[in-house]
C-alpha cells in the first residue's frame, strides 16, 4: 500500500468559473478501470491525466463525450472501488426556446397526410418506434461506439416547450462516444439523412453503422464507424420544409431508421410559385399570405413571408404588425411578440387597440398580470383607447384568480368608460355574493351609466347575447334589491 501511494500523482484542475465550463471528456479504459482521462472546456483542453498516449496498452479502448459549447454539462456518474472503474456524464437539454430561436413556431402542429419512407431494409430486430409528426427538431443526441450507432434521441419544439423524445436504442457498454447536433431552429431545418447499415454476424441483427444529418445550412458529418461491407442509404428531402418526423426500430442498438415526408401545402406552393415565376406578391397578397399561414399554424412560413416583405421593401403598416403580433401571441411566443410590439414606435407607427388586445390577452393567459395591467394603463399613450374586449380579458383573469380588490378597481373603470361585462364575466360576478355586494355599491353610484353601457352595445353583440346580458342584469338587480 505504501508503494502504491508513492506512485500516485494527484493533480487538480481549476476552472475560471463561471466563464469556463466543461464541454466534453475523453480518455481510455481497460477492462477494469479508466486509465486515461482528459477534460475539455470551452476555452481549451486541460492536460491528460493517467497514462500518456505512448504508454497505452493495445487492448485499451477509447471513449469520448462531446457536449457542445452551450453549457449543457449536468454532472458525472460512474463506478469506483480502489480505482475509477467507469465514468459517464449527464447532459442538460436546453429548457427555453429563447436560446435557439427568434420567431418560433410554437403552435400545436396539425398532422398532415404524410408519406412514410424506409427503413432501407426489412427487419424485425428491436421494437418499432415512431416520431411521425414531430418535425421541429432543435437538437439530436447520438451515442455510438466502435461497432455501430447505439441510440438516437431528439429534442423537439412542441406547443411552446422543448420536449425530449424517447431514447431510441440502448446503452453502450464499450468505448462509447456521444455527440450532439444543435440546429439553429427555426431557420435551420432537416433536409436529408444518410448513412450505412449491415447485418452483423457478431450479434446476428441489422445495425445502423453510420448516420449523418443534412440541413439547409450544412451536413453534420457521419457518426459511427463505416463497415467495409455495409450498404449505404440516403434520403434527400429537399429544402421546402417537407421533413415530417422519424420512425424506425431499436433495441440494444439502433436497428433501422426512416423518415416521414410532408406534402407541400397550397399556401406554400402559392407563395413559392409567386416568388419564382411571378406575379410578385404586393402588399395585399403578402398580408393575406401572412394571415393565412398563421391561421393554418404554419408559423415558420409566416415568418418567412414577413421577412420577405422586409427584404423586398414592402411598406409595413400597423395592420401587418397587428397580424404578426396576433399570430405570435396565439403561437405562445410572448418574448418575440414583446420585441415586435416594442419596435413599432421606432418605425413611426402607433399601436392600435387590436395590437394591445392581442398582447394583453396573451399576457393574461401566461399569468403575467402586472405586465398586462401596465399595458392597459399605457394604451392611451399611443393615441387609442381600450375597449370592452380589453377590460373583459383582464377582469376575467382577475376573477379566476379571486383578486377582488383588482376586480373592484377594473369594474369601476369600466363603468366610468361606459363599458359592459361580457356574458362570461357576468356569470362569474353573479355567482359570488361578494361581487354582488360590490356591484350593488357600483350600481348605487351610477345605475344610469351602467345601464347605458349595456344598451349602447346593441350593435356590437347579437340579439341572443344582448338578451342574456339584460337578463343577467334583471336577475342581478332583483337579487341585490
3-state secondary structure 81-115: CCCEEEEEEEECCCCCHHHCCCCCCCCCCCCCCCE
Say which residues have a Cβ less than 8 Å from residue 429's Cβ, sequence separation at least 6: 399, 421, 435, 436, 439, 476
Residue-range domain boundaries for the chain = 22-95+109-261, 267-442
DSSP string, 408-419: HHHHHHHHHTT-
User: In this structure, are strands 22-29 and 34-41 parallel, antiparallel, or unpaired?
Assistant: antiparallel
- Which CATH number is 267-442 given? 1.25.40.10
Is residue 465 very low, low, confident or very high in pLDDT (cuts 50, 70, 90)? very low
Q: Rounded to whole angstroms, how far apart are CA atoms 7 and 335?
A: 57
- Kindly indicate the confidence band of residue 74, based on its pLDDT and cuts at 50, 70 and 90: confident
* pLDDT the model gives residue 3: 34
pLDDT at residue 451 above 50? no
The chain-wide mean pLDDT, for the chain, equals: 76
Q: Report the percent of the chain where pLDDT is more than 70.
A: 75
330-364 per-position pLDDT tens digit: 887 888 889 889 998 988 888 888 888 888 888 88
pLDDT in tens, 235-293: 888 776 678 899 999 999 999 999 988 765 545 555 555 656 556 666 677 777 777 77
Length of the chain (residues): 481
Q: Which pLDDT value is given to residue 157?
A: 87
Which is higher by pLDDT, 9 or 211?
A: 211
- DSSP tag of 45: E
Is residue 103 over pLDDT 70?
no
Q: Which of 79-88, 161-170, 262-271, 310-319 has the lowest mean pLDDT?
A: 262-271
Quick one: pLDDT at residue 98?
Answer: 42
Cα–Cα distance for residue pair 270/240, rounded to 1 Å: 13
- Kindly provide the residue ranges of all beta strands, DSSP E only, lying in 225-334, ordered along the sequence: 231-236, 243-250, 254-261
> How does DSSP classify residue 47?
P
∠ CA 134-139-143, rounded to 5°: 105
pLDDT digits (tens, 9 = 90+) for 360-405: 888 888 888 888 888 888 887 878 888 888 888 888 888 888 888 8
Q: Which DSSP string corresponds to 433-444?
A: HHHHHHHHHHHH
Q: Three-class SS of residue 372? A: helix
The predicted structure's pLDDT at residue 244:
86
Does domain 22-95+109-261 fall into CATH 2.100.10.30?
yes
Spell out the residues 6+ positions from residue 465 whose beta carbon is closer than 8 angstroms to its own.
423
Pick from 138, 140, 139: which is nearest to 106 by CA? 138
> Residue 454's pLDDT is what?
41
Q: What pTM does this model have?
A: 0.48
Amino acid at each position: 500500500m505504501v508503494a502504491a501511494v508513492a506512485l500516485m500523482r494527484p493533480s487538480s484542475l481549476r476552472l475560471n468559473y463561471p466563464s469556463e465550463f466543461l464541454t466534453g471528456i475523453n480518455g481510455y479504459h481497460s477492462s477494469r478501470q479508466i486509465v486515461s482521462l482528459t477534460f475539455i472546456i470551452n476555452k481549451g483542453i486541460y492536460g491528460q491525466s493517467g497514462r500518456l498516449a505512448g504508454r497505452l496498452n493495445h487492448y485499451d479502448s477509447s471513449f469520448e463525450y462531446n457536449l457542445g459549447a452551450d453549457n449543457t454539462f449536468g454532472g458525472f456518474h460512474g463506478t469506483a472501488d480502489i480505482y475509477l472503474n467507469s465514468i459517464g456524464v449527464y447532459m442538460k437539454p436546453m429548457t427555453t426556446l429563447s436560446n435557439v430561436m427568434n420567431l418560433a413556431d410554437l403552435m400545436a402542429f396539425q398532422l398532415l397526410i404524410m408519406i412514410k419512407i424506409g427503413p432501407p431494409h426489412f427487419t424485425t430486430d428491436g421494437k418499432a418506434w415512431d416520431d411521425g409528426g414531430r418535425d421541429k427538431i432543435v437538437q439530436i443526441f447520438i451515442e455510438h461506439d466502435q461497432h455501430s450507432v447505439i441510440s438516437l434521441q431528439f429534442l423537439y419544439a412542441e406547443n411552446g416547450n422543448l420536449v425530449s423524445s424517447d431514447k431510441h436504442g440502448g446503452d453502450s457498454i464499450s468505448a462509447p462516444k456521444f455527440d450532439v447536433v444543435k440546429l439553429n431552429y427555426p431557420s435551420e431545418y432537416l433536409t436529408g439523412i444518410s448513412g450505412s447499415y449491415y447485418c452483423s454476424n457478431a450479434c446476428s441483427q441489422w445495425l445502423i453503422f453510420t448516420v449523418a444529418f443534412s440541413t439547409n445550412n450544412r451536413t453534420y458529418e457521419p457518426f459511427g464507424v463505416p463497415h467495409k461491407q455495409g450498404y449505404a442509404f440516403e434520403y434527400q428531402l429537399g429544402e421546402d420544409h417537407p421533413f415530417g418526423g422519424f420512425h424506425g426500430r431499436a433495441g440494444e442498438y439502433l436497428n433501422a431508421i426512416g423518415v416521414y415526408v410532408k406534402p407541400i401545402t397550397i399556401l406554400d406552393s402559392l407563395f413559392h410559385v409567386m416568388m419564382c415565376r411571378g406575379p410578385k406578391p404586393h402588399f395585399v397578397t403578402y398580408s393575406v399570405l401572412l394571415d393565412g399561414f398563421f391561421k393554418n399554424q404554419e408559423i415558420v412560413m409566416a415568418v418567412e413571408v414577413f421577412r420577405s416583405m422586409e427584404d423586398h421593401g414592402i411598406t409595413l403598416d400597423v395592420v401587418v404588425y397587428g397580424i404578426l403580433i396576433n399570430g405570435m401571441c396565439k403561437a405562445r411566443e410572448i418574448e418575440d411578440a414583446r420585441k415586435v410590439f416594442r419596435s413599432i414606435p421606432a418605425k413611426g407607427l402607433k399601436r392600435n387597440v387590436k395590437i394591445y388586445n392581442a398582447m394583453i390577452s396573451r399576457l393574461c393567459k401566461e399569468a403575467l398580470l402586472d405586465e398586462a395591467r401596465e399595458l392597459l394603463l399605457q394604451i392611451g399613450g399611443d393615441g387609442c383607447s381600450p375597449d370592452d374586449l380589453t377590460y373583459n380579458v383582464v377582469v376575467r383573469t382577475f376573477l379566476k384568480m379571486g383578486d377582488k380588490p383588482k376586480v373592484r378597481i377594473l369594474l369601476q373603470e369600466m363603468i366610468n368608460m361606459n363599458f359592459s361585462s361580457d356574458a362570461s364575466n357576468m356569470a362569474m360576478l353573479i355567482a359570488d355574493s361578494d361581487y354582488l355586494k360590490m356591484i350593488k355599491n357600483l350600481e348605487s353610484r351610477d345605475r344610469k351609466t351602467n345601464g347605458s353601457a349595456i344598451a349602447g352595445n346593441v350593435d356590437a353583440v347579437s340579439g341572443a347575447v344582448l338578451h342574456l346580458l339584460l337578463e343577467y342584469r334583471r336577475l342581478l338587480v332583483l337579487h341585490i334589491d
